[in-house]
Amino acid sequence: MTDILILAFIFLIAGVIAVPIASRLGLGSVLGYLIAGVVISPVLGAAGVDVVSIQHFAEFGVVMMLFLVGLELEPKMLWAMRAKLLGLGGLQVVLTGAAVAGVAMFLANL
């Protein structure tokens, strides 16, 4: 139980430090949390922290990040950008699918 509390304390402190720094740099709070995760992951890996216990926090963090992104979206702005979002989003899906299919076909022929 104390391991979970220590991990929670480390994650909270990293967020408390990273989010104001990201905000001061003009970035969003969600990006601050992502930066905090990137910074503390090598430290926790070197300390021999159990990966399974980190996964539970990471899953919760992804849910919270999606919630925060949803709060920051403005419906009017999203509606105004619908053509760009659908066009560029669709293009990304098609290009990613083509790249994955190309790599899969290349590896299948080896």
Confidence of residue 100 (pLDDT cuts 50, 70, 90): very high
Q: So what's the pLDDT on residue 101?
A: 97
Share of the chain above pLDDT 90, in %: 24
Asked if residue 94 and residue 66 are part of one domain, the reply reads no
Q: What is the pLDDT of residue 85?
A: 83
Q: Quick one: 49 and 7 in the same domain?
A: yes
Q: Render pLDDT for 15-43 as a digit per residue (tens, 0 to 9).
A: 899 889 988 998 888 788 888 888 887 77
pLDDT in the model for residue 103: 96
Joined tokens for residue 1: 């139980």
Give residue 43's domain range: 1-72
In terms of DSSP H, where are the helices of the chain? 2-24, 29-46, 51-72, 75-80, 82-108
Count of domains for the chain: 2
Same domain, 22 and 34: yes
For 38-58, write each residue's pLDDT tens digit. 888 777 777 777 766 677 767
On whether both 67 and 100 belong to a single domain, the answer is no
- Domain shared by 87 and 54, yes or no: no
pTM: 0.53
| Residues 22 and 15 sit within 8 Å (Cβ to Cβ) | no
Q: Are 54 and 44 in contact (CB under 8 A)?
A: yes
